[in-house]
Structure 1
């Protein structure tokens, strides 16, 4: 049956019909927006993003060795280039004169940064990693002599390219360079997120500009860190396939404090990874200097307790309230400083400890975490670098420090090496 609106239908009826139609169209539009918004939210989380950082180790690593070797074949030239890189790396470390066979016996792996293999020529940029147990007696650990380490600091690498600022939204060269950086040779305790899952929504380029201490306390608590580092890389391409100019800035803390800046240039897109590696070494030097000068201390406004915030809010309320004798006095409850249970019992404060452990499979990860978390005094334990088939790293907060944790793990049957803030455990 057809229904036609004519002029004879009362105006009120027409208004009601129009209202019903508007509500129907509005409901359909709201449903479409909800479905579209949900799909966009899933798209922001899913996808191929995030680069897990390489496992930290205390092995001695020398990077940036350039070789140019010829041979009868490309394979022979490549082997000769690797041997030459081992000799150059050993010389850079200040090692004593030794036969090449002895040096080769102390090398655990060769890191290939960039290589070109021809019919009779080999050109490459290599890195050489020496086994600490074998080479440490001659040249010492790569992390020795650097002084005390900093508190755990969250790393947010910001890349600005083409007018867009990003962190973990896509897999960028700046994030990859930080994931491959050997942090064990630095006194700065970098905590490098993988950038996968919800981390790409929390750790964005806009996060570095936030000032809310409550927000920062929530973010830092998720990664068991005390403060934040924000190294910024601004990339400018002159033309497609041409030179690339990079401006790199080291920033620190919730106020995005400026520590230093420098510029580098890459001749082409193929040279961009090498420029990023060089930039990280200089950025790390800026953070080292800041640590030596006492600038990388955790911000007290982030780690302040609830009593300190209550006092601050009370002072702000007193300043903003109107003054006058006719206003009734406001009773302010006194702030009572209560002693912590661990202080009353005479227990030392909790300290961060880095624990390295072999993870041939997922069961080894669960076993190590369960063993560490079962130690009395452990307040938190989480993996910061996961490498199935290699060496993983966990961050542990334990009362009594590394010595107490090591003694407890030995009691469980674990083999413990190292000491202080860095331990290596194995079965």
Structure 2
């Protein structure tokens, strides 16, 4: 799954590189803002993946194959319904996001073009969340890798073809993503449903079991609040950077891709935590729970240290590849050290998310995220006016670190209560 998630930030780098070939800062800024608006809505629905992973993993730990299938259908129906609503509300959502960001006219035009197209992928994209969640909950890492490679590989290839070969620019990047999401959804659905056991089927009425629905909605609510808080931090980061002008906005957009590379890399280890922790709790087997935490945290810090060193050394060359604008290159180099350290600052944040999702301890995850967001807002309010964009990056690193440490400190008490049952 580390390999699978590492293909995802390549999309951001590819999209940024395609748009960056114009040599202008405005299209890059429009892509950054458009992506934030899109992600704010779609990643807030990450509960479709996370809740599915945790619940399926626990069912697998209990050996309940029928419940695994029922969880998938519940989540898929919910995903398609939410996706259709997003398509209908796309214009309003985009307008609200741009009103919050307050970009310049040329940046606004680029962002509107991007989001108007990408929102058409909503039903397929959210279906892919559910499909991936089911696969991860069952611990089928190779299948998860295959599906992610199909989606992300198609995305990169189509974006390059439409954006560069046909010269569609930012619109081509968006259409490439829409097509790739649809391809992935069809492939994933066919594979999963084709393997379902008829003997274990619980029947359609089981989809509407009141107790299971209440538990699912509570879990989804907490994870959604957690995701919205996370995206609020990213949106505030982008909006604050935009106040420093289009060059700083574009430089931050370039550097955030480095964080996304480290982030998705760590997400592979977090996914291992989700699956193993979920199964250990389903089977009430404490040794597997403890080992999952110990190994993923150890490897997370080791690999993040390597990634930080790589970005510090190779960062200037990567910046030059991503953008041709001289002023954006110069600004990105100034803030590169902050971006290189985000992986280390976020190790525990990623790993603890995996643990708490697998354990379905969603309330704690929600509360600690909100606490960390408050600290981030305070830093932006009081420190950024004095330290500028350096203060913004410092606040972002603090936000990541506080979220992970606060959750880590809660584990002993929560584990003791869970494994006493």
Q: Same fold by TM (over 0.5)?
A: no
Q: Which has the higher contact order (CA 8 A, sep 6+)?
A: 2
State the TM-score, normalized to the length of structure 1.
0.23
Structure of higher CA gyration radius = 1
State the TM-score, normalized to the length of structure 2.
0.23
Higher relative strand content:
1
